[in-house]
Chain A
Amino acid sequence: MDNQFIFQYSWDILPKKWVHKMKRSEHGNRFYTNTDNLFPLLCFLKWHTYTRVQVLIDICGVDYPSRKRRFEVVYNLLSTRYNARIRVQTSADEVTRISSVVSLFPSAGWWEREVWDMFGLSFINHPDLRRILTDYGFEGHPLRKDFPLSGYVEVRYDDPEKRVVSEPIEMTQEFRYFDFASPWEQRSDG
């Protein structure tokens, strides 16, 4: 199957310092790399004749606060020529700057802005790194695990000032947490 072919081929041919771990599973094959080698790896994957992953589907940031390098950036890639998908993952902490892949994949422009906005990871050589989804004066990076679900401020229209103001949040009932662990069901592992 072509999916396995380009994955196995790239794993065989790439220098080991670019890809320091690979994992295959039925849910998608992935390469783990570090932030210095990210750009050459994606450049290789995009332009090499036998891999030709020309489409960047998605750049996703994930937050694992228990790890030392707490963020992980996942690049989902697709090759339309070979009908294969590959995932490339790197780890970064709050101050690492990752090189931007906008020059390779123009669609990365907004994805990297979103990762910056939601997590706080900045990218070198990005033409326009600023917030994209949050409000104009928003402080904080919402998708980090230490940012609460309800946020810190709420907005309301203030009539004396004739504009919208942000104020600290006021919750009229406590946060309800449903996780449906039924007391009657016995789990198979106890």
Chain B
Amino acid sequence: MTVPVTRKDLMIVNMGPHHPSMHGVLRLILTLDGEDVIDCEPILGYLHRGMEKIAENRTILQYLPYVTRWDYLATMFTEAITVNAPEKLENVQVPQRASYIRVIMLELSRIASHLLWLGPFMADIGAQTPFFYIFRERELIYNLFEAATGMRMMHNYFRIGGVAADLPYGWIEKCFDFCDYFLTGVVEYQKLITRNPIFLERVEGVGIIGGEEAVNWGLSGPMLRASGIQWDLRKVDNYECYNEFDWEIQWQKEGDSLARYLVRIGEMKESIKMIQQALEGIPGGPYENLEVRRFDRAKNSEWNDFAYRFISKKPSPNFELSKQELYARVEAPKGELGIYLIGDNSVFPWRWKIRPPGFINLQILPELVKRMKLADIMTILGSIDIIMGEVDR
């Protein structure tokens, strides 16, 4: 199907790095013919901070505050992958309680990230109200995080071998209250958005990606699951303690922006289910494997028991990475976030390669916007769900 060219000369428009949508500093050079988009070229690099080079000069503990700045909306995932990679490298055991706390924090972070995807997505389409509603729920999550970790957004909470501090007294009850409240909140979003004819008109059939094409382009996360491929690293890889909970992969078949929206809403509800199960089943025990902070690193040492936990302050960590390579991954809300780590028998890694989901998912944008109208670009860009912090690193 050829698009009739109405004018001989095509217009080249620059959607510059500053623009009112909240996608960050992404520059799109669009070639337009009237309202139809002929081509689109994304230009990245406006937020490149040299995270990989910095990682080669910092120990893991020193590097933890940097990693929350990659994906600044789903911060627990970046921290989780940063500690998971050395843990897998050195076969560090994580206590059961720490694993449950991590899963609760990760799922809360997933809900927070999907909420802050939903707001700007609706705002770009034209609906301003959900943008304010999501911040209501996100503030509640921030309060929970602040009580447990001390910071609202850039937590620096995860440590190699567990988490930095235990949950405060009464946190679990507050989290239960949040889960009950949030389920009513999601119902409110669905009543407002999902069957809204204006929303469906904007979103249905826009930016369709087939299943084979999605696998070919290396997509991951909700973009892949919305195209019919049931691939979720939490089920496939069985990391942390996800296999102890009862939950399902959310997926859709059509592959358009509406399918991606439905997958993310479904994931929010599944996350609440997981959090409730984790809160009910959380075991006691130590929250951090403190033995890894020392050079000898004995397994199952008696120094990790309850009797010794309050004797003195924690020793300063000198975690050495041995000379191996490893690719560790988590299922971040945007897709598959991975670290390819090459250790070097020293405290600094030799190579710390970040595999951001947004970088790969953004590559398909020029393919999707061909022959679409100008207004559909924002819909498609919003449904891809990118964060420039991790795309550029």
Binding stretch for chain A, among B76-84, B345-353, B378-386: B345-353
A99 in the interface (beta carbon within 8 A): no
Is B45 within 8 A of A131, CB to CB? yes
Known: A149-B54, A179-B348, A188-B295. A107 touches B218 (CB 8 A): yes
B363 in the interface (beta carbon within 8 A): yes
Is B215 within 8 A of A27, CB to CB? no
Which A residues lie within 8 Å of B338 (CB)? 57-58, 76
A178 in the interface (beta carbon within 8 A): yes
Residue in B327, B346, B355, B392 whose beta carbon sits within 8 Å of that of A28 in the complex: B327
Q: For residue B57, which residue of chain A has the nearest CB?
A: A149
Is B318 within 8 A of A57, CB to CB? no
Interface residue tally on B, bucketed by range: 35 or more
Q: Which of B306-354 contact A (CB under 8 A)?
A: 315-318, 324-327, 336, 338, 340, 342, 346-348, 350-351, 353
Give the complex CA separation of A149 and B59 in angstroms.
Answer: 15
Which A residues lie within 8 Å of B48 (CB)? 133-134
Which B residues lie within 8 Å of A56 (CB)? 218
Is A185 within 8 A of B295, CB to CB? yes
Residue in B56, B326, B360 whose beta carbon sits within 8 Å of that of A27 in the complex: B326
- A128 to chain B minimum Cβ distance, whole angstroms, is 9
Which B residues lie within 8 Å of A142 (CB)? 50, 53
Interface residue tally on A, bucketed by range: 35 or more
Known: A142-B53, A143-B53. A106 touches B340 (CB 8 A): no
- B25 to chain A minimum Cβ distance, whole angstroms, is 12
Known: A57-B336, A76-B327, A185-B318. A106 touches B216 (CB 8 A): yes
Give the complex CA separation of A43 and B360 in angstroms.
Answer: 20
Residue in A28, A80, A132 whose beta carbon sits within 8 Å of that of B44 in the complex: A132
Interface string of A109-136 (1 = CB under 8 A from B): 1100000001000000000000111110
Known: A27-B324, A55-B215, A107-B218. A143 touches B59 (CB 8 A): no
Known: A27-B326, A60-B351. A105 touches B216 (CB 8 A): yes
Q: For residue B293, which residue of chain A has the nearest CB?
A: A185
Is A149 within 8 A of B53, CB to CB? yes
Known: A56-B218, A132-B44, A142-B50. A107 touches B294 (CB 8 A): no
Give the complex CA separation of A132 and B215 in angstroms.
Answer: 24
Give the complex CA separation of A134 and B317 in angstroms.
Answer: 34
Is A107 within 8 A of B342, CB to CB? no
- B246 to chain A minimum Cβ distance, whole angstroms, is 21
Highest count of chain A CB atoms <10 Å: which of B53, B89, B324: B53
Give the complex CA separation of A60 and B107 in angstroms.
Answer: 29
Interface string of A177-190 (1 = CB under 8 A from B): 11111100111100
Q: For residue A87, which residue of chain B has the nearest CB?
A: B327
Is B347 within 8 A of A110, CB to CB? no
Q: For residue A138, which residue of chain B has the nearest CB?
A: B45
Give the complex CA separation of A186 and B296 in angstroms.
Answer: 9
A25 in the interface (beta carbon within 8 A): yes
Give the complex CA separation of A39 and B77 in angstroms.
Answer: 34
B182 in the interface (beta carbon within 8 A): no
Which A residues lie within 8 Å of B315 (CB)? 185
B229 in the interface (beta carbon within 8 A): yes
Which B residues lie within 8 Å of A25 (CB)? 324
Is B325 within 8 A of A58, CB to CB? no
Is A85 within 8 A of B327, CB to CB? yes
Which residues of A line the B interface, CB within 8 A?
25, 27-28, 30, 54-58, 60, 62-63, 74, 76, 80, 83, 85, 87, 105-107, 109-110, 118, 131-135, 142-143, 147, 149, 177-182, 185-188
Beyond the given pairs A132-B44, A134-B45, A180-B59, 12 more chain A to chain B contacts, judged by CB atoms under 8 angstroms and listed by A's residue number, are A55-B218, A58-B355, A76-B338, A80-B215, A83-B236, A105-B218, A107-B216, A133-B392, A143-B52, A178-B59, A180-B317, A185-B315
- 6 residue pairs A–B, Cβ–Cβ below 8 Å: A54-B215, A62-B342, A76-B327, A87-B325, A109-B363, A179-B346
Which residues of B line the A interface, CB within 8 A?
44-45, 48, 50, 52-54, 56-57, 59, 62, 88-89, 215-218, 229, 231, 236, 294-296, 315-318, 324-327, 336, 338, 340, 342, 346-348, 350-351, 353, 355, 359-360, 363, 392-393
- 9 tightest CB-CB pairs across the interface, nearest first? A107-B218, A60-B353, A27-B326, A133-B48, A133-B45, A58-B355, A187-B295, A62-B351, A188-B296
